[in-house]
Amino acid sequence: MKYNYFIIIKTSFFILSLLTSNIYSAELPPQNLRTDLLLDTDKVFKNGYQVNLPIENVPLSNKDYQLPFIKSKKPIFSWELRSEKKDILQTAYQIRVASLIKNLENNAPDLWDSGKINSSENLNIKYQGETLTPGKTCYWQVRSWNNNNESEWSQPKAFRMSPQLQEDYHPSSYPILKTDEFPKKIQDLSDETTSLYFIDFAKASFATLRLTLSTQFDNESITIRIGESCKDGRVNRKPGATIRYSEYTLNLKKGTHTYHLQIHPDKRNTGSQAIKMPSYIGEVYPFRYCEIETKNGKLDTMPLVIRESATYMFRNTGFFRCDNDILNQIWELCRYTIKITSFCGIYVDGDRERIPYEADAIINQLSHYAVDNDFSMARVSSEYLITHPTWPTEWILQSIIIAWQDYLYTGDMRSLDKFYDDLKAKLLLPLADEKTFLISTRTGKQNSDLMESIHFKGKEIRDIVDWPQAGGFGQDKKPGESDYFVFQDYNAVVNAYHYQALYLMSKIAECLGKINDSSFFFNRALLVKENYNKAFYNSSSQNYRDGIGTDHSAIHSNMFPLAFNMVPSENIPSIMRIIQSKGMACSVYGSQFLMDAIYEAGDPQYGLERLTAQDDRSWYNMIKLGSTVTLEAWDNKYKNNLDWNHAWGSAPANIIMRKLVGVEPLSPGFSQIRIKPQIATLKWIQANVPTIRGTVYIQINHPNEKEFSLNVDIPAGTIAEIWIPKFKIQSPKLNFDLSNVKEISGYYILENIGSGNKIFTIEESSK
């Protein structure tokens, strides 16, 4: 037999190439390139609408166009790693920046070539190239090396420098955007002489209307009614509280024409402290329902009605579903709330005032992180509130918590560095007692120097605990939302916040290399915690009293120290008993910290009960009332001027992701994450949890008490600590090795779990 050795050799090389291609082929290119935390830096908008126009073709002099300008002369770059392999960590990267995209295509970057940098970091890499000038369009790309191979170059990403650049760091943000939305339902309620149409957009939004109408007569008059509430199949004209309803008259021209409804400005939410809408968007109004009615005669055809909704950039990357439909509805209520209340581009209190408050922002921030992978709006809000604080003592202290959460979720410390001295002032150390180190606003220590250091323009700050308090907003002779809290000179709630602020300030100082400050704040926090438990813990009743000088114990005096990890472990059961005995005796704002406390105490079943409760102090009650956005209070009866568009009611969005699904950052920028599901009696969960390094995909199955499985996809470049609940499974059969596993508090803890898809199962062994 004759052999064609050339064919044999060629075939052998081909087979060898197939066998080795999986080893030596280039990695996938990085994706989701960010400049100064922004993903969509190459998008162009005209009068709020996205248009298909290259960013370099937009003239700076044309005010009809809006761009997500980069405002720092030396921006930072971030990207997500991609790989089909498991346990991937970056080992090096190379960034190229050019003034023309063809320069990158020709391997000739003219602004910056970092060269190969040995580093595991793929977040917040500072630009180090040629000076970037105002209005300049730039293009950048990146490739990375990891413990498997080198990647391809990413697709180039464009960004535009602002016409006014800042020497130091300055946050960048998106313009406010417009989206056209069509009705979900139009009912023709016309009779023989009058046209009447009832229109339902399914959900409320901050918007205006664009209408195309036809009539045979000049000056045909129509009435347009818009509102958030519906009654008896019509727009509710007397919804009460601050639930929105408005009516307009419009005179039509003969023929078919398109009309834009001009929303009348409200004196209260367009005042000196309110955040104003940009001129290219115009005034907006929150509404779901619309009516169009003629006063005399009829319209020739059914009207074409389009709602022009205003929001911040929203990608909707967070996802959650489970076997409990009520919890699914509550998740959707809160997810949508975050989207539509973003209409100002900064966290505000809703439509009544449109003023930023720390208490709104601290909840809005965490819920925004849970439902979308944008981090810029939280950054803008945080920095605004540092220099525009509001009057409650606790809320001023919250600025430190908000700033720390910003760093924890982004890994970008520029804001901490710039505002470090301002944040130190927010500790309110001048209000502290010299012996106990507890703070008080009622012992004569407030002065102009303190007010100036925290940028407060008023005369004094005051403790708030919760809102509304007894005696206000319909709460006469009722407990308000503070559970009859008894205010004293030294109060438990404000000092719990003071401890948490000190503890986090020590971490901030450490990250910035300010070791002496870090040590001081940490030791001070320990002293405050020790004296707090001495002053406020009532050993006879086994709970925390509201203040020094009273034995009254509100739910707030117990939930805040528990949420902030101040309660000795032996006292947690008694604190949980008092908390459970009081139900939801706090506001929708306070519920954020109540739910944190419940899950910190390791009681997920009670947490699930509170999340899915159906009484009038529940999130489900907001849905039953007819709102598609979270309310400012549980019900009208608890705040007689409440509104229906308040994102501080959105706590379940972040509680579900952070505590129930259990995905939280362990280190800044999610380089290390914890996955600790606390699902209670839920049988299955699917969740996509957005992070700055990529989405964490979670699928949990717990069909019965004898088996549990966790299927998780961890982004490349991250390391996970995974907690597998033991439940009450007897003689468990595991698909993971126990030799390097910790066992604590009903969990198996697996450390240093690398990226990629991982499945963990536990089931009862059959004997």
> Strands (DSSP E) along 236-347, which ranges?
245-252, 255-260, 285-294, 304-311, 319-322
Question: What CA–CA distance (Å, rounded) separates 507 from 505?
Answer: 5
Whether residue 3 is contained in a domain is answered as: no
Q: Chain centroid to CA 342: how far?
A: 10
* CATH number of the domain enclosing 197: 2.60.120.260
Which among 693, 678, 754 has a CA at the least distance from the CA of 723?
Answer: 678
- Please tell me the predicted confidence (pLDDT) of residue 728: 85
Is residue 125 assigned to a domain? yes
Give the residue with greater pLDDT, 539 vs 25: 539
**Looking at residue 477, what is its pLDDT?**
63
Who has greater pLDDT, 727 or 568?
568
The string of pLDDT tens digits covering residues 628-650 is 999 999 999 999 999 999 999 99
Whether 120 is in a domain gets the answer yes
5 domain-assigned: no
- Looking at the structure, tell me whether residues 481 and 392 fall in a common domain: yes
pLDDT average, residue stretch 706-724 = 97
Q: With cut-offs at 50, 70 and 90, classify the pLDDT of residue 188.
A: very high
Tell me, yes or no, whether 2 lies in a domain: no
Give the mean model confidence (pLDDT) for residues 104-129: 97
The tokens describing 215, both together, are 């009539």
Amino acid present at 221: S
Of residues 86, 231, 220, the one with CA closest to residue 713: 86
- Find the mean pLDDT for residues 190-213: 96
Taking the CA atoms of 595, 600, 606 and 608 in sequence, report the sign of the dihedral they define: positive
**How many CB atoms are closer than 10 A to CB 608?**
20
- Of the residues 630, 660, 690, which one is the last residue of a structural domain? 660
The β-bridge partners of 166 are 72
Q: Are 569 and 447 contained in the same domain?
A: yes
Domain count, the chain: 4
Check whether residue 84 and residue 207 sit in a common domain: no
> Residue 291: helix, strand or coil by DSSP?
strand
Residue showing tokens 């008080």: 440
Radius of gyration of the chain from Cα atoms? 29
Buried b (16+ CB within 10 A) or exposed e, 98-118: bbbbebbeeeebebbebeeee
pLDDT band at 739 (very low <50, low <70, confident <90, very high): confident
Encode pLDDT of 221-279 as tens digits: 999 999 999 999 999 999 999 999 999 999 999 999 999 999 999 999 999 999 999 99
Alpha-carbon gap, residue 668 to 634, rounded angstroms: 34
| pLDDT over 80 at 5, yes or no | no
Pairing of strands 220-227, 245-252: antiparallel
- Cβ–Cβ < 8 Å for 630, 349: no
Task: Write down the pLDDT at residue 595.
Answer: 98
477/578 same-domain check? yes
**Domain match, 126 and 250 both:** no
- Residue 22 pLDDT > 90: no
Is 13 domain-assigned? no
**Inter-CA distances, 41 with 347, 526, 641, 731, Å:** 21, 44, 40, 54
**Residue 449 sits in the same domain as residue 469:** yes
Average pLDDT on 173-190 reads: 97
The CATH code of the domain that includes 110 is: 2.60.40.10
Amino acid making up residue 271: G
Two tokens at 696?
């964490």
**Same domain assignment for residues 158 and 188:** no
Q: How does DSSP assign 448-486, residue by residue?
A: HHHHHHTT--SS--B--SSSSBTTSTT-TTS-BTTTT--
Residue-level pLDDT at 219: 86
Cα(376)–Cα(398) distance, integer angstroms:
19
Whether residue 189 has pLDDT greater than 60: yes
| Per-residue confidence (pLDDT) for residue 190, from 0 to 100 | 93
At 275-315, the pLDDT tens digits run 999 999 999 999 999 999 998 778 989 999 999 999 999 99
Q: Which of 685, 637, 636 is nearest to 660 (CA)?
A: 685
Write out the two tokens for 553: 């114990």
509 shares its domain with 368: yes
Same domain, 126 and 228: no
Question: Strands, DSSP E only, in 62-150?
Answer: 65-66, 70-72, 76-80, 90-98, 112-113, 117-118, 125-126, 137-146
Residue 547 CA, distance from chain mean position: 33
Cα 344 to its chain centre, rounded Å, is 15
CB 138 within 8 A of CB 126: no
Q: Which of 762, 757, 760 is nearest to 733 (CA)?
A: 762
Give the tens place of pLDDT for each residue, 343-353: 999 999 999 99
Ranking 33-37, 475-479, 487-491, 626-630 by mean pLDDT, the lowest is: 475-479
Q: What is the CATH number of the domain that holds 721?
A: 2.60.420.10
pLDDT at 11 over 50: no
Mean pLDDT of all residues belonging to the chain: 94
Boundary (domain end) residue, out of 279, 311, 343: 311
pLDDT in the model for residue 153:
98
CB 249 within 8 A of CB 196: no
8 A C-beta contact, residue 326 and residue 619? no
Average pLDDT (506-520) is: 98
Backbone angles phi, psi at 421, to 5 degrees: -65, -35
Q: Give the pLDDT mean for 95-105.
A: 97
- % helix / strand / coil in the chain, to the nearest 5? 30, 25, 45
Tokens coding 727: 């439940």
Residues 367 and 482 in one domain: yes
Residues 412 and 554 in one domain: yes
Reported as a single tens digit per residue, the pLDDT across 314-336 is: 999 999 999 999 999 999 999 99
Task: Tell me if 619 sits within 8 A of 330, measured CB to CB.
Answer: yes
Q: Are residues 141 and 241 in the same domain?
A: no
Is 105 in contact with 56 (CB distance < 8 Å)?
no
Residue 614 lies in a domain: yes
- Three-state secondary-structure class, residue 71: strand
- Note the pLDDT tens digit of each residue in 535-565: 999 999 999 999 999 999 999 999 999 999 9
- Domain range enclosing 338: 319-660
**Looking at residues 520-538, what average pLDDT do you find?**
98
pLDDT band of residue 220 (cuts 50, 70, 90) is confident
For residue 710, is it within any domain?
A: yes
Q: What are phi and psi of 280, to 5 degrees?
A: -75, -15
Q: What is the pLDDT of residues 461-480, one digit of tens each?
A: 999 999 998 777 666 667 78
Distance CA 705, CA 681 (A): 9
Q: What is the pLDDT of residue 25?
A: 65
Condensed to tens digits (0 to 9), the pLDDT of residues 645-677 reads 999 999 999 999 999 999 999 999 999 999 999
* Burial class of residue 364 in the structure, from the number of CB atoms within 10 Å of its CB (0-12 exposed, 13-18 middle, 19+ buried): buried
pLDDT of residue 621: 98
| CA distances for 393 relative to 38, 554, 652, angstroms | 33, 18, 25
Q: Which of 260, 295, 311 is the last residue of a domain?
A: 311
Q: What pTM was estimated for this model as a whole?
A: 0.95
DSSP 571-626: GHHHHHHHHHHH-S-S-TTHHHHHHHHHHHTT-HHHHHHHHT--SSSSHHHHHHHT
- For the record, the structure tokens of 322 come out as 């489970």
